Structures are given as structure tokens and as C-alpha cells.
Amino acid sequence: MSEKDCIFCRIVRGEIPCARVYEDDAVLAFLDLGPVRPGHTLLVPKAHCATLLELPGDFGPALIAGLKKVGRAVMAATGATGFHVLQNNFSSAGQSVFHAHWHIIPREDGDGLNLWPQGAYPDSASMQETAAAIAAQL
């Protein structure tokens, strides 16, 4: 998708509305239209990139600063006592908008949400094999 048609680029350019919560030179944050919980906020780089893999290497400080600032504000405003930072890359991981973005989702004790259904490796050898396979790609 080109930057011209990208929905988040259009929001950054002000061509379509959003419920904006924060903006600086590098990032824009606005409420997700379909919140997992009220206050669910998206933080997007202002410059188009489709996934984390395309994000410039020097974007880290601006991203972390934005996530910390907005995460703190979302917790304070919603009364949450915790928050997730989640990011989906590629459609297999649930990415539906191909302009990289970070979900900031407020949480409270006992809110009943289970975003983290954990499994287990059958044994420690298979866990070590998996680690070795990933390390071999680096």
C-alpha cells in the first residue's frame, strides 16, 4: 500500500479524523477505534513504514520516549494499574493496518482479559534446539 492510501498516513496528514492524544516530531498517538479496553491507544511513527522490520534503526529513542509518555498517561487517565505494549507484524500475527504501530492497552487486576495463553516445550532439549535454530539465523 502506498503512503497516499495508507490509513495511518492519512491520519498523520490530518486527512481523516482521529481521537488524538499525543504528537511530537516523530510519533502520533490516538485512540484505537475498536478498543480491547477503554483507553486502548495506538502509537504510530509519522513516517510510513509497514512493519517493525522497516523501522529506521535510529528510531528507538523516539519510540521508547513516546511509549513511556503515552503509557503513563493512559494509566493515569483510566485508573489502570498496568498496561501492555503490543505490536503485530504481518497478517499471520494479526496485523491489519500495514503502517507499523504499537498498541498501548490499559489493564487492571482481575479485568478478566487473557492476552497471553502460555504453552510449554515438551522438554528442555527441544527448547534448546529452538534457541539454536533462531541463533543460527543471526
Q: Which helix (H) or strand (E) holds 71?
A: helix 60-78
The smaller minimum CB distance to ligand AMP, of residues 43 and 75, is found at: 43
Cα separation, 3 vs 48, in Å, equals: 6
Q: Is 89 in the site for ligand AMP (CB under 6 A)?
A: no
Is 33 a residue that touches ligand AMP (CB under 6 A)?
yes
Instruction: Identify the residue among 3, 88, 107, 108 touching ligand AMP (CB under 6 A).
Output: 88
Among 3, 22, 32, 55, binds ligand AMP (CB under 6 A): 32
User: Please, where are the H alpha helices in 13-59?
Assistant: none
How many degrees, rounded to 5, is the angle at CA 92 between CA 120 and CA 75? 75
Q: How far is CA 24 from CA 54, 83, 113, 114, in A?
A: 20, 22, 31, 32
Q: How far is the CB of 45 from Zn ion (least distance, A)?
A: 9
Residues that bind Zn ion (CB under 5 A): 6, 8-9, 48, 99
Residues that bind ligand AMP (CB under 6 A): 7, 18, 32-34, 42, 88, 94-97
